[in-house]
Amino acid sequence: MSYDIAIIGGGIMGCATALRLAAGGMRPIVLDQGDLGQGASGVNAGTLSLQIKRVKLMPYALKGHHLWEEMGTAVGFAKTGGYTLAFTDREVDLLHERQTMKREAGAPITFVSNNALRAAEPGLTHAVKAASYCPEDGYANSALTGQYYRGKLQDAGIAYRERTPVTGIDRVDGYELQTPAGPVRAARVLLAAGAWLKPLAALMDVDLPVNARINTVSVTERMPAMMSHVIGHATGLLTMKQKANGTVLIGGGWQGKGTPQQGRGEVDVAAVKPNLALAQYALPALGTARVLRSWTGFEANVPDFYPLAGTLPGFDDAFVLGCVRGGYTIGPSIGQLMGDLILGRSPEMPLFDPGRSFEEDRP
Ligand SMILES: Cc1cc2nc3c(=O)[nH]c(=O)nc-3n(C[C@H](O)[C@H](O)[C@H](O)COP(=O)(O)OP(=O)(O)OC[C@H]3O[C@@H](n4cnc5c(N)ncnc54)[C@H](O)[C@@H]3O)c2cc1C
């Protein structure tokens, strides 16, 4: 049997695109080397915050937020609102500069007084010098991503194969994908392999400048209620939220060790300690909490830190989607746009040409 398109990678990008394609009348198949949502999409911190998104990605994040609301409890979605904190004069400047740009880009972010912050989050340190607030911020439970999309693919009658790594891609009247379970034929391919995009594109002799960051997340034991919003830091080096079960999830992009090819990576205690220290500085009551577990996941990026979303350079029937900063938040919306592009429709927002020249740009 030949499919209209084979999607390689069953993370949030691949699955969201598959759903759009099927709704548009195509017959996709999704292939993952492990289980659906076992990559970055299943181990991330789940923060859905407009305040930590890049300015140019704000329209995609805003659209994504509406889609998360629709996904709701099935993905553990909670719209709590979020505060971003600054402790030093330099951080105050950074907070004002970044959040003003994001507000101008459409995010409903306001600067709040210390009195208002204390009324909302009495447990936070009095060392806060400035704070911003966004009522749209919240979180989802990334551990539910695979389960959620598996159900959605089934409901839509979309074929998917787990534990099926693609090891070769040949051009044979369309494409023939090599897997240990035998070949899969499709008229088109979408590469949505996250931090594994570089070796996957190399199977088609394309060199994508994809790098991987090894982000760390930690979770505490269940604690009495100590915060009710998503809390972030002006530098982006801290995100935290307390789940309904009392556990506190702490992230901020601190780096572990390892490479995507080696597997899930390794926690670097030297990086976890300052992450936890910053969390405890922000919320002193965390000093009594024990960390149950820290883990890592691989987040892909390219040198300008904007997404790869479009046709694969040199091809008109092969596509790539990935390397989206804050890609969990934006995944559902950019997946829809990518689906529209493949369906031959005009996406509602412009995408990000994977054939562009990649110059460093990080506002
Ligand atoms: C620890 C961590 C914390 C993060 N926190 C946040 C956050 O709080 N908020 C936020 O918005 N974003 C966050 N992110 C970013 C976000 O998780 C990612 O941008 C997003 O999940 C990427 O989705 P994806 O589908 O592109 O990649 P992935 O979810 O990694 O999916 C790629 C899939 O491709 C499969 N694959 C790879 N190679 C092959 C092959 N050859 N054959 C078959 N299958 C293959 C993999 O098994 C994998 O399942 C975080 C990332 C990490 C790692």
296 backbone dihedrals φ, ψ, rounded to 5°: -125, 165
The alpha carbon of 112 and the centre of ligand 1 are apart by a number of angstroms equal to 34
The alpha carbon of 40 and the centre of ligand 1 are apart by a number of angstroms equal to 3
pLDDT band at 360 (very low <50, low <70, confident <90, very high): low
Q: Which atom of ligand 1 is nearest to the CA of 37?
A: 49
Do the first three CATH levels of 2-41+143-209+303-342 and 82-135+211-301 match, i.e. the same topology?
Answer: no
Q: Which atom of ligand 1 is nearest to the CA of 142?
A: 17
Look up the pTM and report it. 0.97
Of 32, 60, 268, 294, which is best to mutate to test ligand 1, by the most ligand atoms within 8 angstroms of its C-beta? Answer: 32
What's the 3-state SS for the chain? CEEEEEEECCCHHHHHHHHHHHHCCCCEEEECCCCCCCCHHHHCCCEECHHHCCHHHHHHHHHHHHHHHHHHHHHCCECCCEEEEECCHHHHHHHHHHHHHHHHCCCCCEEECHHHHHHHCCCCCCCCCEEEEECCCEECCHHHHHHHHHHHHHHCCCEEECCCCCCEEEECCCEEEECCCCCEEEEEEEECCHHHHHHHHHCCCCCCCCEEEEEEEEEECCCCCCCCCEEEECCCCCEEEECCCCCEEEECCCECECCHHHCCCECCHHHHHHHHHHHHHHCHHHHHCCEEEEEEEEEEECCCCCCEEEECCCCCCEEEEECCCCHHHHHHHHHHHHHHHHCCCCCCCCCECCCCCCCCCCC
Q: Render pLDDT for 237-292 as a digit per residue (tens, 0 to 9).
A: 999 999 999 999 999 999 999 999 887 799 999 999 999 999 999 999 999 999 99
As a whole number, mean pLDDT of residues 195-224 equals 97
* Whether the predicted pLDDT of 67 surpasses 90: yes
Q: Render pLDDT for 132-144 as a digit per residue (tens, 0 to 9).
A: 999 999 999 999 9
Question: Which residues have a Cβ under 8 Å from the Cβ of 327 and sit 6 or more positions away?
Answer: 12, 13, 40, 41, 299, 307, 334
Q: Render pLDDT for 114-127 as a digit per residue (tens, 0 to 9).
A: 999 999 999 999 99
The alpha carbon of 136 and the centre of ligand 1 are apart by a number of angstroms equal to 23
Q: What is the pLDDT of residue 78?
A: 97
CATH homologous superfamily of domain 82-135+211-301?
D-Amino Acid Oxidase, subunit A, domain 2 (3.30.9.10)
- Nearest-CA residue for ligand 1 atom 33 is 9
- Nearest-CA residue for ligand 1 atom 9 is 47
Average pLDDT of the residues of the chain: 96
Domain 2-41+143-209+303-342 belongs to what architecture? 3-Layer(bba) Sandwich (3.50)
| Least confident interval from 52-66, 221-235, 327-341 | 52-66
The alpha carbon of 39 and the centre of ligand 1 are apart by a number of angstroms equal to 5
Q: Which atom of ligand 1 is nearest to the CA of 298?
A: 53
Q: Render pLDDT for 145-170 as a digit per residue (tens, 0 to 9).
A: 999 999 999 999 999 999 999 999 99
The alpha carbon of 143 and the centre of ligand 1 are apart by a number of angstroms equal to 12
pLDDT band at 361 (very low <50, low <70, confident <90, very high): low
The alpha carbon of 312 and the centre of ligand 1 are apart by a number of angstroms equal to 19
The alpha carbon of 222 and the centre of ligand 1 are apart by a number of angstroms equal to 27
Whose tokens are 């598996």? That residue is: 150
Q: What is the pLDDT of residue 25?
A: 98
Q: Render pLDDT for 301-339 as a digit per residue (tens, 0 to 9).
A: 999 999 999 999 999 999 999 999 999 999 999 999 999
* Whether the predicted pLDDT of 49 surpasses 80: yes
> For 174, left (φ over 0), alpha (ψ -120 to 50), or beta?
left
The alpha carbon of 81 and the centre of ligand 1 are apart by a number of angstroms equal to 24
Is 358 or 29 the better-scoring residue by pLDDT? Answer: 29
CB of 23 closer than 8 Å to CB of 217: no
The ligand 1 site (C-beta within 6 Å) comprises: 8-14, 31-34, 38-41, 43-47, 165-166, 192-196, 200, 215, 217, 251, 297-299, 322, 324, 326-329, 331
Q: What is the pLDDT of residue 331?
A: 97
- d(CA 110, CA 103) in angstroms, rounded, equals 8
* Whether the predicted pLDDT of 363 surpasses 80: no
- d(CA 47, CA 243) in angstroms, rounded, equals 12
Q: Which atom of ligand 1 is nearest to the CA of 41?
A: 21
Q: What is the pLDDT of residue 262?
A: 87
* Whether the predicted pLDDT of 362 surpasses 80: no
Q: What is the pLDDT of residue 185?
A: 98
Q: Which atom of ligand 1 is nearest to the CA of 179?
A: 42
Q: Which atom of ligand 1 is nearest to the CA of 166?
A: 42
Is 263 or 349 the better-scoring residue by pLDDT? Answer: 349
User: Domain segments of the chain: what residues?
Assistant: 2-41+143-209+303-342, 82-135+211-301
* Whether the predicted pLDDT of 1 surpasses 90: no
* Whether the predicted pLDDT of 71 surpasses 70: yes
Question: Which residues have a Cβ under 8 Å from the Cβ of 314 and sit 6 or more positions away?
Answer: 206
